[in-house]
Structure 1
Amino acid sequence: MQHLWRDRRGRMLWLKAAVLPTLFVPGLLTAFWLATDQLGGRPVMAAIHGTGLWAIRLVLISLAITPFARALDWPNLLLVRRMVGVAAACYAGAHLALYVVDQNFRLTTVASEIAVRFYLTIGFVALLGLIALAATSTDAAMRRMRRNWKRLHRLAYPIGAIALLHYFIQSKLNVSEPVFVAGLFLWLMLWRLLPETWTRTRSIAALTAVYAGLAMTAGVMTAAVEIAWYGLATRIDPWRVVTANETLAHGVRPAHWVLLCGLGGLAIVTLRHILPLPRRQNVIA
Structure 2
Amino acid sequence: MTAWLPWLDRQGRFSLLRGATFALVLIPALILAYEAWNGQLGSKPWTQAVHDTGTWAVRLLLVTLAVSPLRRILDWGKLIGIRRMLGLSVLAYAIGHFSLYCIDLAFDWGLIVSEIIKRFYLLVGITALIGLIALGVTSTDGMIRRMGAKRWQRLHNLIYVITGLGLLHFALQSKIDVTQPVLMTGLFALLMLYRGLNRFKIAVTTPVLVGAALLTGLVTALCETGWYAFATGVSPWLVFQANADIVVYQDIASLRPGHWVAFAGLVVALGHAFRAPKPRRSRQDGQPVPVRAGS
Relative to the length of structure 1, the TM-score reads 0.90
1:14-93 map, 5 Å: 14-93=16-95
Cα displacement (A) at 1:183 = 0.7
Separation in structure 1 between the aligned mates of residue 196 and residue 276 of structure 2, nearest angstrom: 22
Contact map agreement 2:213 2:262 (CA 8 A) in 1: yes
Residue of structure 2 equivalent to 1:223: 221
Contact map agreement 1:180 1:257 (CA 8 A) in 2: yes
Cα displacement (A) at 1:198 = 5.2
Aligned partner of 1:151: which letter?
A: R
Cα displacement (A) at 1:236 = 1.1
Separation in structure 1 between the aligned mates of residue 112 and residue 47 of structure 2, nearest angstrom: 14
Contact map agreement 2:75 2:276 (CA 8 A) in 1: no
Residue of structure 2 equivalent to 1:176: 179
Separation in structure 2 between the aligned mates of residue 273 and residue 188 of structure 1, nearest angstrom: 18
User: Does 1:111 pair with 2:113?
Assistant: yes
Contact map agreement 1:74 1:280 (CA 8 A) in 2: no
State the identity as a percent.
42
Relative to the length of structure 2, the TM-score reads 0.87
Residue of structure 2 equivalent to 1:192: 195
Unaligned runs of 5+ in 2: 280-290
Separation in structure 1 between the aligned mates of residue 180 and residue 24 of structure 2, nearest angstrom: 23
Residue of structure 2 equivalent to 1:94: 96
Separation in structure 2 between the aligned mates of residue 280 and residue 51 of structure 1, nearest angstrom: 38
1:236-275 map, 5 Å: 236-248=234-246, 249=248, 251-273=254-276
Q: Which deviations, in whole Å up to 9, do the C-alpha atoms of 1:171-225 show, x marking residues without a partner?
A: 11111121111111110011111135857x5xxxx61121011101111110121
Residue of structure 1 equivalent to 2:3: 3
Contact map agreement 2:8 2:14 (CA 8 A) in 1: yes
Q: Which moved more, 1:230-239 or 1:84-93?
A: 230-239
Aligned partner of 1:213: which letter?
A: G
Unaligned runs of 5+ in 1: none
Q: CA RMSD in A?
A: 2.3
Separation in structure 2 between the aligned mates of residue 235 and residue 282 of structure 1, nearest angstrom: 49
Separation in structure 2 between the aligned mates of residue 228 and residue 281 of structure 1, nearest angstrom: 38
Aligned partner of 2:182: which letter?
A: V
Separation in structure 2 between the aligned mates of residue 228 and residue 273 of structure 1, nearest angstrom: 37
Cα displacement (A) at 1:12 = 3.3
Separation in structure 1 between the aligned mates of residue 61 and residue 256 of structure 2, nearest angstrom: 23
1:197-212 map, 5 Å: 207-212=205-210
Separation in structure 1 between the aligned mates of residue 178 and residue 11 of structure 2, nearest angstrom: 48
Aligned partner of 2:170: which letter?
A: Y
Aligned partner of 1:35: which letter?
A: W
Cα displacement (A) at 1:246 = 4.0
